[in-house]
Structure 1
Amino acid sequence: MDILGLLKNNNAKSGGVAKDRLKLVLVHDRVGCSYTVLEMLKADILNVISEYMEIDDEELDIRLTHIKETSGEVPVLYANIPIRSMRMAKSG
């Protein structure tokens, strides 16, 4: 069993995770949105959407990012929310 290989592979994965976290922190800094605010926003979005459809919580992807425009980079809220099924309409 190659223990050094396992440790090296785990470090590579950890490095990738750390790099992704750093990117997330930098984007949040540029937009002026803290990680806590983004998590609260995600929860609110999911609560509203869940009233109308069943969603796949494990596969969803909600994040802040940037797009390039002629005026420079613009912050964008990206949401990819897989829908499992629609809920029955509530009678009011």
Structure 2
Amino acid sequence: MGLFDFFSKNKSGNVAKDRLKLLLVSDRANCSPEMMEAIKNDIIKVISKYMDVDTDALDIQITQTESEGGHGAVPALFANIPIKDIKNGNPNR
């Protein structure tokens, strides 16, 4: 094991972190972890038609934000989706 291997996160650690993050997000949005996973997968599927994305670095969060009318906080979906490349041609391939 090299020095950099010691400081790098292992694959199972990243999976556990993602699952915990998904659980926390789903709790804030008052929807099930299964629903949050389905939303994440649908977003990836749609965006992947048009561009190559880094699914390992994908970050989707549901937070509270103030409504436009000033009627209190409402849930908001924020997605950070790193783009590797833009696809050219037919998006239905």
* C-alpha contact (below 8 Å) 2:60/2:79 kept by paired residues: yes
Structure 1 stretches of 4+ moved >4 Å: 19-23
RMSD of aligned C-alpha atoms?
Answer: 2.6
Q: Deviations over 1:33-65 (max 9, x none)?
A: 211111101101100110110001111111211
Q: How much does 1:88 deviate?
A: 1.6
- Segments of structure 2 that go 5 or more residues without pairing to the other structure are 1-16
Q: How much does 1:21 deviate?
A: 6.9
Instruction: Return the index of the structure with the highest Cα Rg.
Output: 1
> Residue 88 of structure 1 aligns with which residue?
88
TM-score, normalization by structure 1: 0.65
- Segments of structure 1 that go 5 or more residues without pairing to the other structure are 1-16
Identity %: 36
TM-score, normalization by structure 2: 0.64
Name the structure where helix makes up a greater proportion of residues. Answer: 1
Name the count of aligned residue pairs.
Answer: 72
Query: 3-state DSSP class of the match of 2:62?
Result: strand
Partners of 1:61 and 1:87 lie apart in 2 by: 21
Partners of 1:81 and 1:63 lie apart in 2 by: 11
Query: 3-state DSSP class of the match of 1:84?
Result: strand
Partners of 2:90 and 2:24 lie apart in 1 by: 41
> Residue 10 of structure 2 aligns with which residue?
none
